[in-house]
Each structure stands twice: as C-alpha cells, then as structure tokens.
C-alpha cells in the first residue's frame, strides 16, 4: 500500500509528492521546494517518518517542478528520471527561470529516461507510466491501478487542464492525452495534480469545461 503525501510549494503553488510504502521506501515526484521553509518542511517530513527515498521522478520538467531536484539528489544518492521528450524543456528550465526572475540550483542530469507503459516498482506496489504529452512534449502521469490513483502533473487539474502555449506544447495533443489516456481510467481514480486540489476522473469527465472531444 502506498501513502501519498503532498506539499504545495514555490511561487507557482506547485504540488510536490512523496509516495511511500509500509517499509518506508519512498519515491519523490516533482520536488518544487523553493524557499528555506519549504525545504525544511520537506526534509523534516522525510526524517520524521524515517523514509528511505529510492527514486526521484519528474512528471515533466517545467521549472516549478524541479526547483528541489538538486537538493534532493545531493541529500540522497538516488536515481533520477523523466521522459526523454522533455529533455529540451529540461535543458532550457534554468534559462526560463531568468524570464521569471527566479534563480534556483540547476538540476543534475537524469540517470535514465522513462517510457510509456514502464512499471516503476516500489516493493510490492507499482506505478505505470502513461505518456500524456501536450502541456509539455514529454509529460507523463504515474498510475497506481490497485489503489485507484494517478499523479497527473500539469495535464489535468480540478476543473481545468494544463496550458498548451508553452514551448513544445500542443492543445490537440493535450486533449488527446486527456481523452484517450486519462478519461479511459475508471471514474473512481483519484487525480493528484501538479497544481490545485485533488479530483477524480469521473468528476472531471462530467464537469471539466476545458476538455473537448476530438
């Protein structure tokens, strides 16, 4: 069984997640910690729960999702991965920060890339990679079928969807990802988004005003 812990971080109000099992093995997803208190809260939680991080993942590599990559990888010697199609976004994240007047420690390079349908193992639990481009070219979601939840990055939000006007984004591609990958999941799947509150697939199918059929 996985426990999902979330933190809301940085000026972009990004959601950082830690997924951990009963053996305290943990996967860190999108560490967006930016200020001192955010870093302290994050690392104190890991200490207090005696978690043992084993992997760092990025749903995609917009800067608000990787401010904390460098600190996490410095503290824990763990592998780091994202989808290869986001590499150009990753490579420009630091420069993009200058546009926002935001400086942060540059992320180390990934150790490997993840692909559609890969299974990430954490003890007996699994996360399946869904390739869901459109918000960024290499956006992925992490789906836990057994416990009915998905970490959706910036693809799908509570009553909203990710922007598609950033470099490498595409509105039609985004709609395809949502319709064919996310809305193909059971209605009771809980959606933990990159920004905003938790929602559910069935609720978004019924109520999301931005999802149009293709």
Q: Note the residues at the interface with Zn ion (CB under 5 A).
A: 62, 64, 154, 194
CB nearer to Zn ion: pick between 38 and 154: 154
Task: Give the shortest CB-48-to-Zn ion separation in angstroms.
Answer: 27
CB nearer to Zn ion: pick between 53 and 194: 194
CB nearer to Zn ion: pick between 67 and 122: 67
Task: Give the shortest CB-186-to-Zn ion separation in angstroms.
Answer: 25
CB nearer to Zn ion: pick between 60 and 200: 60
> Distance between CA atoms of 33 and 15, rounded to whole angstroms?
9
Task: Give the shortest CB-113-to-Zn ion separation in angstroms.
Answer: 18
90 CB contacts (<8 Å, ≥6 apart)?
A: 58, 61, 66, 82, 107, 110
User: HSE-up of 202 (CA within 13 Å, CB side)?
Assistant: 6
Measured CA to CA in angstroms, residue 111 lies from 18, 45, 59, 77 at distances of: 19, 25, 15, 11
> Distance between CA atoms of 118 and 114, rounded to whole angstroms?
7
Task: Give the shortest CB-44-to-Zn ion separation in angstroms.
Answer: 24
């Amino acid at each position: 069984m996985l426990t999902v812990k979330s933190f809301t971080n940085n000026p972009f109000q990004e959601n950082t997640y830690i997924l951990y099992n009963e053996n305290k093995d943990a996967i860190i997803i999108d560490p967006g910690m930016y200020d001192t208190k955010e870093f302290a809260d994050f690392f104190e939680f890991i200490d207090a729960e005696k978690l043992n991080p084993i992997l760092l993942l990025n749903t995609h590599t917009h800067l608000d999702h990787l401010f904390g990559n460098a600190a996490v990888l410095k503290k824990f010697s763990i592998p780091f991965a994202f989808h290869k199609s986001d590499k150009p976004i990753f490579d420009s994240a630091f420069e993009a920060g200058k546009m926002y007047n935001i400086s942060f420690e540059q992320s180390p390079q990934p150790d490997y890339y993840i692909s559609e349908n890969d299974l990430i193992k954490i003890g007996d639990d699994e996360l399946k990679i869904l390739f869901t481009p459109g918000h960024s070219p290499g956006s992925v979601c992490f789906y836990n079928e057994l416990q009915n939840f998905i970490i959706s990055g910036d693809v799908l939000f509570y009553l909203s969807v990710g922007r598609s006007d950033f470099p490498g984004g595409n509105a039609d591609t985004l709609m395809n990802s949502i319709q064919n990958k996310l809305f193909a999941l059971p209605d009771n799947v809980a959606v933990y988004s990159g920004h905003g509150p938790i929602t559910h697939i069935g609720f978004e199918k019924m109520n999301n005003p931005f999802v149009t059929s293709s």
